[in-house]
Amino acid sequence: MPKLKTKKAVMKRFKKTATGKFVRRKAFKSHILEKKSEKRKRSLCQKAVSTKGDAKNIQQVLPYI
């Protein structure tokens, strides 16, 4: 069976934790920031853990991570 290719776009967006969960950036932090409150912008800077269903799909496209 041939080797599986890693999806590089997904590899750049997700990191795997020691417990096997995937960490991602939050959306809506790139532009149109004037109307967003400071509290909201701070919370958007924090990392988020992907859901269990998404983690299954991420694991398929990142076979060696």
Q: What percent of the chain has pLDDT over 90?
A: 97
Distance between CA atoms of residues 16 and 11, nearest Å: 10
* Region 15-27 average pLDDT: 96
Q: What angle do CA 36, 9, 39 make, to 5 degrees?
A: 15
Is the pLDDT at 30 greater than 90, yes or no? yes
Which residues have CB under 8 Å from 21's CB, separation 6+?
Answer: 49, 50, 55
Which domains does the chain show, CATH number per domain? 8-61 (4.10.410.60)
Confidence (pLDDT) at 36: 98
Is the pLDDT at 1 greater than 90, yes or no? no
* Region 30-45 average pLDDT: 97
